[in-house]
Structure 1
Amino acid sequence: MTRTRPLPLLVLAAIGFAAAFLLDVVLAMQGRPVLVPPVSLIVALVLIAAGLVALAWPVHRAAQGERRIDPFYAMRILVLAKASALGAALLTGAGAGILVYLLSRAVVPIGSSVTAAASLVAAAALLVAALVAEHFCSLPPEDEDQDEAAAAAS
């Protein structure tokens, strides 16, 4: 599996930004309350980020040769990290869209803006944690000189 590239993350962030911003505009035009991320979302994103790194740490230790680990477990963590990175990019864009909408109003709602900024930071933290977990699940590059020396010795 290849590493997550920046382009899909940027595209998903742009989609999340546009969708959240436009949805807030449409809701405001209809006189309905605009989107404001709940505090529980912020807590959940931070806990998911911490859990993902904690699950990836044994895989990293196994990749360094310190211990053995089930390869299916490592693959599951890698897939979870990749999915979390894509989802976090979408949520980061959505948090930015909501924050930009709230800050563009004539009267800025402070409490909602702080909550939107906190959700943006929490989603970005999940994105970073997912990319770190994905890095933890990669094998170090093999040294070809050592492989040739081992083959010549046997």
Structure 2
Amino acid sequence: MTRTRLSTLVALAALGAGAGFLAQIAFAAAGLPKYRPEYPLALSLLFIAGIVVAFALPIRRATRAEVRTRIDPFHATRVVLLAKASSLAGALLTGASLGLLVELLTRSGGLNTDSLLRTLAVLGGSIAVVAAGLVGEWLCTVPPRDDDPDADRVAPGSLES
């Protein structure tokens, strides 16, 4: 498995930004109330970010300790996949939050401070999920073996001891 590329994260953020912006415009055009993110969403995103890092830390400890312990490769693979999925979903949510923020800042009729704070809170939580996913991938990277000819290339999730 390869690490998550920055270009993938940027593309998903751009897709999410367009979708968030267009959704707000579509809601307004249809006469429906616009989406207003809630604070529990931001707290949930922070909780998810913490969970991702908490799952990846034992793998890092086991692979970098003086006496390496055996890790279930299926568990390690699941943790790496969780971290990768978190970074991708977080990038999409970051983009959607940015789209909501741009629509909020560019609309006429004045700025609603409560909506601005809510959107910024969700944006912060989304960025935390992206960061936690990338850190989780990094924590699950296995150090190269001494006898490995491809010591420069280390794929995350390849936990052969």
Q: Secondary structure at the match of 2:97?
A: helix
Equivalent in the alignment of 1:108:
111
Q: Decide which of 119, 123, 143 is 1:120's aligned counterpart.
A: 123
* 1:77-136 deviations in Å (ceiling 9; x for gaps): 001111111100000000010011111123111101110011001100110001000001
* 1:49-69 deviations in Å (ceiling 9; x for gaps): 001100100011112144332
For 1:86 and 1:141, the matched residues in 2 are separated by 26
Equivalent in the alignment of 2:79:
77
Equivalent in the alignment of 1:28:
28
Following TM superposition, by how much is the alpha carbon of 1:25 offset from its aligned partner in structure 2, in angstroms?
Answer: 0.9
For 2:2 and 2:73, the matched residues in 1 are separated by 16
Q: Decide which of 141, 151, 155 is 1:138's aligned counterpart.
A: 141
Following TM superposition, by how much is the alpha carbon of 1:17 offset from its aligned partner in structure 2, in angstroms?
Answer: 0.1
Equivalent in the alignment of 1:150:
none
More helix by share: 1
Following TM superposition, by how much is the alpha carbon of 1:12 offset from its aligned partner in structure 2, in angstroms?
Answer: 0.6
Following TM superposition, by how much is the alpha carbon of 1:144 offset from its aligned partner in structure 2, in angstroms?
Answer: 4.8
Gap regions ≥5 residues in structure 2 = 149-161
Q: Which region of structure 1 is more displaced relative to structure 2, 18-27 or 34-43?
A: 34-43
Q: Decide which of 66, 70, 89 is 1:87's aligned counterpart.
A: 89
- Deviating beyond 6 angstroms after TM superposition, the runs of 4 or more aligned structure 1 residues are none
Counting only pairs closer than 5 Å after superposition, residues 45-60 of structure 1 correspond to structure 2 as 45-60=45-60
Equivalent in the alignment of 2:156:
none
Following TM superposition, by how much is the alpha carbon of 1:142 offset from its aligned partner in structure 2, in angstroms?
Answer: 3.4
Amino acid at match of 2:121: A
Q: Which region of structure 1 is more displaced relative to structure 2, 34-43 or 14-23?
A: 34-43
Q: Secondary structure at the match of 1:90?
A: helix
Larger Rg: 1
Amino acid at match of 2:50: A
For 2:43 and 2:51, the matched residues in 1 are separated by 12
Gap regions ≥5 residues in structure 1 = 146-154
Indicate conservation of the 8 Å contact 1:61/1:67, yes or no.
no
Report the TM-score when normalising by structure 1: 0.89
